[in-house]
Structure 1
Amino acid sequence: MSKSRGREVDPRDRAFGKRVADLRRARGLTQQQLAALLSNRTSGWMSQVERGIQPVRRMDVLQEIAAALGVSAQTLNPDAPLPAPTAEPVPVLSNDLDAAREVIAGHPALDALLGTASAAPVDLAALAAQVDEMWEQTHQANHPVVSDIVTDLIPQLEQAVRTAPKEERPQAYRLLANAYQALAAAFARQGDARAAWVAADRAITTAELAGDALLVCAGVFRMVHAFVRLGDKQEAERAARTAIQALEQRGDLPPEGLSVLGSLHLAKALVHARQSQRTEAREEIGNARRVAQRLGEDRNDYHLEFGPTNVAIQAVSTAVELGDAGEAIDVAQSINAEELSPERQGRLLMDLGRAYAQRRQTTDAVECLLRAERLSPDLVQNHAAVRAAVKEMVLVSGPNVPKDLMDLADRTNAME
């Protein structure tokens, strides 16, 4: 061990200090500026840390330095324990989808099963138009309208798959699977993981009855996101992995298949990022990027909005989940998402806001979150990570909390 003023310096502390110094310089910060981002720390203390004289043993201090530098605690100290995987906090949900919850709470086609349903002819073209409208409203995050559509549409489709002429039933099942997928997406974005799981499960079952294997795999994508929100990371990873393996066995995937495959890689990246599995998460982003290159364009097969742009957006989200705020900001600033849905645009702005929050750039963070909220209110107001970021910014601001931040905290229930 080397010595400093009569005391030995542990090589691990010296290595830790060098990592801090390198990252600080990469962010363009002085020791005084970095110390100012921490609680009750001075530039002298920061200097001692970087020289290895001042050990950093407490996890809360390590996490605070990491957040100020825009990296994960494991980046600064590979021996730091990974955060324990837990379920996301149960959000305070709005009632925008209450009618939809009632529809899936029971069996929506008992009349058809009991033989008491009307024998009215099935108009699949009209039902298809309603499914398209449901997806449009889902992408717009217009959940009250989605709920209104579902109230009549799901029972009609459940009846159609049982009463339509035999040759039309695969199409009816395909429409029903798409409707359940839209509902799963809406529930997930509002934060209702249990309802999202139910809808995704029904989507997978009906897609199989439609004979559409790619639609089944798209349903698995929705299921993975439900598992993630439930905190079931192992189940989420397994669901994504098995679907990916099945798709990769086919060497002749059409563009629609590539969209599903790439989306599943992105979902798997999210699962790994939530578990702070940095190498695995980045590997899946790389896999998705290669699939997007094969696809060669942004598409919306199975309403997945997969393509090079969406991969870049997910790379931002993954970097934020891993605590790499600087990387997230750099990538986000190079993305043009104008052609994607408001929900996707809102997601990008939301993650950019979270990245700025990690770097304690409160003004930029609030501006991005407010822009995201205008595009997709439910996404922002019901997202656990947004609530955590807003709460931290309020606490860090102390008595001088900006009014727009405090208003956002009220709308997200961040301080409850």
Structure 2
Amino acid sequence: MHAHCHDHTGARIARLRRARHLTQAQLADLAGLSMSIISKIEQGREPATPFVIAQVAAALRVGVGEITGQPYAEELRADELDVLVRPIREALDVYDLGADPDITPSSLDVLSSEAKRLCVQVRAGEIRRAGSDVAGLIQEATTAAHQHGTTEGWNTLGSFFRTAYDVTTKLGYSDLAALSLTRMDWTAQRASNAVVGGMYHYMRALTHLREGQYRTGDRLVRLGLSVLEQAEPTREQQVVTGQLHLGAAVMAGRAKNEDVAEGHLQEATRIAEGTGEAAETYWLTFGPTNVKVHRVSVLAELDKYGEVIEASSFRLPADWPKSRISHHYAEVAQAQMRENQIDASFKSLVAARKAAPQQAKYHPTVRETYAALEAAHRRLPNSFLSYGSWLGPGAH
């Protein structure tokens, strides 16, 4: 179910609810929510948080993408980003076919440099650039990895699979994101790389977080931490361990388990004190700043919107990844809107767009917050309408 004009999340929920022959009260009961929340969301008067979307999706027995309208096909076609998807899908399918006789790959040093370049582009929010190159590089690196059979070759191929995961996740193709992760795990096993294996479990846990499958996500976090215990206690191992705790904190927050979330945040804080800022270590952006950002995320998941605004008063480093900055401002914007800080909320949406426009345009929280601001019928600057036109018809 794709977005179209005047098709917001609430409208999709109402349509799916009626198709299941459910009343608002019945859906609220199945989803563990109040009927008031369901009513306001269906009317477009209140945004649907990731928790609410996941609960409703589970109650209606559909994927989260059915509720959010992802992928936003019309907007992807307009931006000519949809053409990136098929080559990535095809590249992911040749992983076990051995070396392609028609491909002469670059050296592993060159491919490793290319893998780093794509990671930098993703962190800068340059989805089109990374997405345009990753399919061809996956095929090239697949041949190189099979030819060399070395740890370096498998790790390089795994990095390209990780970029495919990042790109497809940001564009809303959850099936391809999941497939990219299985390929990443496949290379980690061949490289005997426990740290990358732990990172795979972290990313896989995030896919279950998005679908509201918290118990499975928690099991994956525990498995990831167990895998990391098998690795040498290097800085890289500590960074991935800390990032797993941050992911687990958000998972616990979305499951409304505040004590568990706080425990993971405290452990991540302890680890970050030892690693310092480690933005380029496996491109996880781990460090004291990311701990602060994740605390904001946890507070948002716990619906503590006033505390979100207070906790977000710190200054982000100028060289911090733009993709992470954009995501952070999107969360702050939603909290500000919930606290009726309408002007401040729109300013945060603008900041999210400025940091990483391609990412912000396809970020569900950005679109949900914009729709709620529009429904508030408050006086906003002319640039607000321009922002809506930029997001596309599915945001209205």
Q: 2:38 and 2:394 mapped to 1: Cα distance?
A: 24
Alignment of 1:35-114 (within 5 A): 60=36, 86=58, 87=64, 89-91=68-70, 92-93=72-73, 94=76, 95-96=80-81, 98-105=83-90, 109=94, 113=98
Where in structure 1 do 4 or more consecutive aligned residues deviate above 6 Å?
A: 61-64
TM-score where L is the length of structure 2:
0.76
Q: 1:317 and 1:107 mapped to 2: Cα distance?
A: 32
Cα pair distance change 1:319/1:410, threshold 3 Å: farther
Which residue does the alignment assign to 2:45?
none
Q: 1:297 and 1:401 mapped to 2: Cα distance?
A: 38
Alignment of 1:138-217 (within 5 A): 138-164=122-148, 166=149, 169-217=150-198
Which residue does the alignment assign to 1:408?
387
Q: 2:300 and 2:39 mapped to 1: Cα distance?
A: 14
Q: 2:287 and 2:105 mapped to 1: Cα distance?
A: 39
Alignment of 1:314-353 (within 5 A): 314-353=294-333
Which residue does the alignment assign to 1:20?
none
Q: Deviation of residue 370 (structure 1)?
A: 0.7
With 226-235 and 214-223 compared, the bigger mean Cα shift is at: 226-235
Alignment of 1:358-397 (within 5 A): 358-397=338-377
With 359-368 and 294-303 compared, the bigger mean Cα shift is at: 294-303
- Work out whether residues 269 and 280 of structure 1, in 8 Å CA contact, stay in contact via their aligned partners in 2: yes
Higher relative contact order (CA 8 A, sep 6+): 2
AA aligned opposite 1:338 = A
Which residue does the alignment assign to 1:17?
none
- Work out whether residues 391 and 414 of structure 1, in 8 Å CA contact, stay in contact via their aligned partners in 2: no
Q: 2:394 and 2:377 mapped to 1: Cα distance?
A: 14
TM-score where L is the length of structure 1:
0.73
Q: 1:110 and 1:217 mapped to 2: Cα distance?
A: 21
Q: CA RMSD in A?
A: 3.1
SS state of the match for residue 376, structure 2?
helix
Q: 2:346 and 2:139 mapped to 1: Cα distance?
A: 42
Q: 1:110 and 1:280 mapped to 2: Cα distance?
A: 38
Q: 2:326 and 2:153 mapped to 1: Cα distance?
A: 32
Q: 2:363 and 2:125 mapped to 1: Cα distance?
A: 13
Q: Deviation of residue 315 (structure 1)?
A: 0.9
Which residue does the alignment assign to 1:305?
285
Which residue does the alignment assign to 1:129?
113
Q: Deviation of residue 101 (structure 1)?
A: 4.0
Q: 1:111 and 1:415 mapped to 2: Cα distance?
A: 40
Q: Deviation of residue 373 (structure 1)?
A: 0.6
Which residue does the alignment assign to 1:273?
253
Q: Deviation of residue 182 (structure 1)?
A: 1.8
AA aligned opposite 1:267 = G
Cα pair distance change 1:371/1:244, threshold 3 Å: same
- Work out whether residues 326 and 353 of structure 2, in 8 Å CA contact, stay in contact via their aligned partners in 1: yes
- Work out whether residues 247 and 261 of structure 1, in 8 Å CA contact, stay in contact via their aligned partners in 2: yes
SS state of the match for residue 219, structure 1?
helix
Q: Deviation of residue 212 (structure 1)?
A: 1.0
Q: 1:212 and 1:111 mapped to 2: Cα distance?
A: 19
AA aligned opposite 2:289 = T
Cα pair distance change 1:372/1:240, threshold 3 Å: same
Cα pair distance change 1:407/1:231, threshold 3 Å: farther
Q: 1:233 and 1:162 mapped to 2: Cα distance?
A: 37
Residues 18-69 of structure 1: CA distance to partner in whole angstroms, max 9, x if unpaired? Answer: xxxxxxxxxxxxxxxxxxxxxxxxxxxxxxxxxxxxxxxx7538999xxxxx
- Work out whether residues 191 and 229 of structure 1, in 8 Å CA contact, stay in contact via their aligned partners in 2: no
Residues 326-359 of structure 1: CA distance to partner in whole angstroms, max 9, x if unpaired? Answer: 2111121123332311112222222221221111
Q: Deviation of residue 296 (structure 1)?
A: 3.3
- Work out whether residues 390 and 414 of structure 1, in 8 Å CA contact, stay in contact via their aligned partners in 2: no
Q: Deviation of residue 128 (structure 1)?
A: 1.2
Q: 1:361 and 1:131 mapped to 2: Cα distance?
A: 42
- Work out whether residues 228 and 271 of structure 1, in 8 Å CA contact, stay in contact via their aligned partners in 2: yes
Residues 199-250 of structure 1: CA distance to partner in whole angstroms, max 9, x if unpaired? Answer: 1111111112111110111122222222333443333222112212343577
Which residue does the alignment assign to 2:236?
256
Cα pair distance change 1:231/1:96, threshold 3 Å: farther
- Work out whether residues 83 and 276 of structure 1, in 8 Å CA contact, stay in contact via their aligned partners in 2: no
Q: 2:249 and 2:82 mapped to 1: Cα distance?
A: 29
Q: Deviation of residue 414 (structure 1)?
A: 5.3
Cα pair distance change 1:111/1:63, threshold 3 Å: closer
Query: Does 2:246 correspond to 1:235?
Result: no
AA aligned opposite 1:102 = P
Q: 1:345 and 1:407 mapped to 2: Cα distance?
A: 22
- Work out whether residues 95 and 142 of structure 2, in 8 Å CA contact, stay in contact via their aligned partners in 1: no
Cα pair distance change 1:121/1:131, threshold 3 Å: closer
AA aligned opposite 1:270 = V
Cα pair distance change 1:297/1:144, threshold 3 Å: closer
Give ranges in structure 1 of 5+ residues lacking alignment: 1-57, 65-71, 73-81
SS state of the match for residue 377, structure 2?
helix
- Work out whether residues 262 and 291 of structure 1, in 8 Å CA contact, stay in contact via their aligned partners in 2: yes
Q: Deviation of residue 134 (structure 1)?
A: 0.9
- Work out whether residues 312 and 335 of structure 1, in 8 Å CA contact, stay in contact via their aligned partners in 2: no
With 267-276 and 128-137 compared, the bigger mean Cα shift is at: 267-276
Find the structure with the greater CA-based Rg.
1
Q: Deviation of residue 270 (structure 1)?
A: 1.9
Residues 93-139 of structure 1: CA distance to partner in whole angstroms, max 9, x if unpaired? Answer: 52426324423346554896487445x47511111111111111111
